[in-house]
Amino acid sequence: MSKKLRAVIIGPGNIGTDLLMKMQRSDWIEPVWMVGIDPESEGLKRAESMGIKTSSTGIDGMLDQVIADDIRVAFDATSAYVHAENSRKLNELGVIMVDLTPAAIGPFCVPPVNLKQHASQLEMNVNMVTCGGQATIPMVAAVSQVQDVEYGEIVATVSSRSIGPGTRQNIDEFTRTTAGAVEAVGGADRGKAIIIVNPAEPPLMMRDTIHCLTKETPDQDAITASVKNMVKEVQKYVPGYKLVNGPIFDGNKVSVFMEVEGLGDFLPKYAGNLDIMTAAGLRTAEMFAEEAHNGTITLPARG
Amino acid sequence: MDLTGKKVTLHDMSLRDGMHAKQHQLSLEQMVAISTGLDEAGIPLIEVTHGDGLGGASLNYGFPAHTDEEYLNAVVPKMKNAKISALLLPGIGTVDHLKMARDCGVNTIRVATHCTEADVSEQHIGMAAKMEMDTVGFLMMAHMVSPEKVLEQAKLMESYGANCIYCTDSAGYMLPDEVTEKIGLLRSELNANTEIGFHGHHNMGMAIANSLAAMDAGANRIDGSVAGLGAGAGNTPLEVFVAVLDRMQANHGVDLYKIMDVAEDLVVPLMDQPIRVDRDALTLGYAGVYSSFLLFAQRAEAKYGIQARDILVELGRRGTVGGQEDMIEDLALTMAKDKGLI
């Protein structure tokens, strides 16, 4: 039996397609299905030409194949509105759900911070927060792992071309979800998130600023070391994750300035915000596969 | 130019845009004193919030002396005739802030986006319109795009439910002809019952001239600020604008001496620095950079030894937009490293 877990990608848009391209290089995850709701979708056609099975009637079009095809993991890159149903139907069949929508019905997952914990507990639905959250929460955690953070604030600036209509129609969801995860995963007592959309041409690289207020005077050496170490952890799955400036200290304020360059698989390199989502999602599924292979967790039984 | 009898709604910014110049530290007493003075003088609409709008309280933009809710609760009950407006930038504030403002008695919500990103405002404009508030779409940094693009984005905001659209010269970059062209196109293409507004900054010394051009081209709401208290070289100084409108016999409804006195007796004494076209504010206008970057660039100059002017010009070259205050320290650090200063 192959060590690879077999996967379905829901949503053949930019995120789903980029995910598919990354997955084809994975040692742990094998893309088998891609589903959408539009038979004319470019994404579905592209997937088909890559030898992937497709359905244009959503996941209902492939549910009866889940067992036969031994699908063990699903990636939902659709919208918060349909995610809950997708997750329920697939979880029932023992498929682990990696949620790339803002639905957040499962616990937040930011790989270098808490993925190991989720994988070891075999969480059946993990949520990847938001692009801004994936890019910044590791830095908040890097500070809060050294000492108490009473307030964490992140500012994500993304190119206009890299954010789609779904995010635009519900931009509040981005700020709320990210702020919640700055607290829940980043470890700040209170969190705030700001997103700025910039239309410059050529498009600007995703950049992120992270500010933390520590309760006590910051231990500059320990925080600097922790931040640099965390950057390396993120670089394992997003090589273009770069510390531009900082950490700099001003009283109890610690500031870090980041830039995120994507791999340029399907999405252009400037869209580091989308890349960090797909890379984190894939990294998450890989960890489940590794743990299952090592016998640390046992995947749901199939008769 | 003939503005005889032309009706205009003057909208004061001193307690919102002016918060930038005060690093968001106006006291409740100052807010109440200025707003009641303006109410008394006949100003019909007064904006009150953090400089970056509802929810702007942050390390990035500055923590205010009081919450938006505290400011609004202090000011709204004191108004006899004036209405209160609140600004909201999607990505910073949310519909929760909007509902809070409505519950505080705010009459007018102004939803502000960069001039190419109107589609992030749908949920906020839609919500404000649904709550039957005076709902304004506020297109910032409008100098960066063509009149046609401003119109396209204005139509989106109109379709979400805005009953008034602003062409906003956030950088104080525009010259009067540009204002005429942009406002003129909005006036001729938007619904006849959609109001048009103009918000200027005085960084190139053009705020009065631009506001007149806007009125002449069809704008009927004009933003200004008593004593000019606002970001950069300030907004259109309202007492000056009122005097000019008086001479032109426009229908503005404001008592000139009373607003002069608010400017002189209440606002000028509380300024932390003169609000004037100094070399840095002039650079904002000249390079087309968001006005609230001024004090951040000056602080970066003091901290890292890079001239504020050089930082601002580079921010302009990079196409920086409103809200990117975090770029200033980041860029100053990079420039200081390149020069071997740190």
Is residue A12 pLDDT above 60, yes or no? yes
Task: Band the pLDDT of A5: cuts 50, 70, 90.
Answer: very high
DSSP conformational letter for A205: P
Neighbouring residues of B134: CB distance < 8 A, sequence distance ≥ 6: B83, B85, B107, B108, B109, B163, B164
Reported ipTM: the value is 0.96
Question: A214 to chain B, minimum CA–CA distance in Å?
Answer: 13
Answer whether A197 sits within 8 Å of B120, measured CB to CB. Answer: yes
pLDDT for position A166:
82
Residue of B nearest to A191 (CA): B58
Domain limits, chain B: 9-270, 292-338
Answer whether A151 sits within 8 Å of B326, measured CB to CB. Answer: no
pLDDT for position A3:
87
Write the residue in B58, B120, B330 that is nearest to A153 by C-beta.
B58
Give chain B positions within 8 Å (CB) of A242.
none
- Best mutation target, A155, A206, A243, A255, to test chain B (most B CBs within 10 A): A155
Domains of chain A with CATH codes:
5-128+278-294 (3.40.50.720), 131-269 (3.30.360.10)
Question: B243 to chain A, minimum CA–CA distance in Å?
Answer: 39
Is residue A302 pLDDT above 90, yes or no? no
pLDDT for position A81:
83
Is residue A242 less than 8 Å (CB to CB) from chain B?
no
pLDDT for position A34:
97
Q: What is the mean pLDDT of residues A216-242?
A: 97
Give chain B positions within 8 Å (CB) of A194.
58, 60, 91-92, 323
> What one-letter code names the amino acid at B196?
I
CATH of B9-270, one of 3.20.20.70, 3.40.640.10, 3.60.20.10, 3.40.50.1820: 3.20.20.70
Answer whether A199 sits within 8 Å of B326, measured CB to CB. Answer: no
Task: Band the pLDDT of A303: cuts 50, 70, 90.
Answer: low
DSSP conformational letter for B319: T
Question: B312 to chain A, minimum CA–CA distance in Å?
Answer: 16
Q: pLDDT digits over A105-157, tens only?
A: 999 999 999 999 999 999 999 999 999 999 999 999 999 999 999 999 999 99
Is residue A256 less than 8 Å (CB to CB) from chain B?
no
Write the residue in B92, B319, B327 that is nearest to A194 by C-beta.
B92
Q: What is the mean pLDDT of residues A152-168?
A: 93
Q: pLDDT digits over A37-60, tens only?
A: 999 999 999 999 999 999 999 999
Residue of B nearest to A201 (CA): B319
CB B215 within 8 A of CB B8: yes
Is residue A2 pLDDT above 80, yes or no? no
**Can B143 be counted among the known catalytic residues?**
no
Question: What is the CB neighbour count within 10 angstroms for residue A50?
Answer: 14
Report how far apart the first and last C-alpha atoms of chain A are (Å, whole number): 16
Stronger pLDDT, B4 or A14, i.e. the higher one: B4
Answer whether B123 sits within 8 Å of A253, measured CB to CB. Answer: no
Q: Can you tell me the distance from the alpha carbon of B253 to that of B6, in angstroms, rounded to the nearest whole number? A: 11
Answer whether A157 sits within 8 Å of B59, measured CB to CB. Answer: no
Percent pLDDT > 70 in chain A is 99
Q: Can you tell me the distance from the alpha carbon of B334 to that of B328, in angstroms, rounded to the nearest whole number? A: 10
Is residue A213 less than 8 Å (CB to CB) from chain B?
yes
Query: What dotted CATH number matches B292-338?
Result: 1.10.8.60
Tokens of A122: 């075999």
Give chain B positions within 8 Å (CB) of A248.
329, 333
Tokens of B66: 């009081």
Which residue stretches of chain B have pLDDT < 50? Answer: none
Cα separations (Å) of A287 from A9, A22, A124, A275? 17, 15, 13, 18
Residue of A nearest to B122 (CA): A169
